[in-house]
Amino acid sequence: RVPCELHVWGASNKLSFYVCNKPHMYYHGKYSGGDLGNITQSIDVGVIPSIVPETFCYTLSELSSAGLPCLVADFGSLGERVIHDVNGWKVTPGDVTAWEAALVRLASDPRLLETIHSSVAVRSLEAMCGDYARIYAGVCAPRESSLEA
């Protein structure tokens, strides 16, 4: 056992409350966008154990923009966006033993978090939008309109 706490934010079913009703586990429930600053300042790492291969993960974007590394399920956009031991860590989806080992490793070695914190790139919404605009401009050609002027 290692000293750590698990805090769960977000709308969920009543099971989350009961699962988190244990020492060092806290279920906070719904939050608003205005709460994100306080939430991200109060945690060391984001944990996203998704059970589906997401096409985009708003939570990962928010945590990354706050400079927080994330432990994520290695599939879908999470696996594509996180580089293991560079800006976070990847774990096999659904492998409870691997998740436990990764959490114990992070809680046992504060140097891992310090190293990753220094390499997580904080990107603004404007920078991300600019990237998408450049991608679309390079891929999409103007269409001829079927509407007559």
Got the DSSP string for the chain?
--S--EEEES---HHHHHHT-STTEEEEE---GGGHHHHHHT-S-EEE--SS--S--HHHHHHHHTT--EEEESSHHHHHH--BTTTEEEE-TT-HHHHHHHHHHHHH-HHHHHHHHTTPPP--HHHHHHHHHHHHHHHPPPPPPSS--
Q: What is the pLDDT averaged over residues 114-127?
A: 76
- What's phi and psi for 36, nearest 5 deg? -60, -40
Q: How many CA atoms lie less than 13 Å away from 52 in the CB half-sphere?
A: 4
Unique residue bearing structure tokens 């945690």: 43
Report which of residues 13 and 41 the model is more confident about: 41
Digit-coded pLDDT (tens) for 30-84: 899 899 999 999 999 999 999 999 988 989 988 988 888 999 999 999 999 999 9
What tokens appear for 40 in the block? 């991200």
- What's phi and psi for 8, nearest 5 deg? -115, 125
**How far, in Å, CA of 111 to CA of 54, rounded?**
30
Report the DSSP beta bridge partners of residue 70: 46, 88
How sure is the predictor about 22, in pLDDT bands with cuts at 50, 70 and 90? confident
Residues 89, 74 contacting (CB under 8 angstroms): no
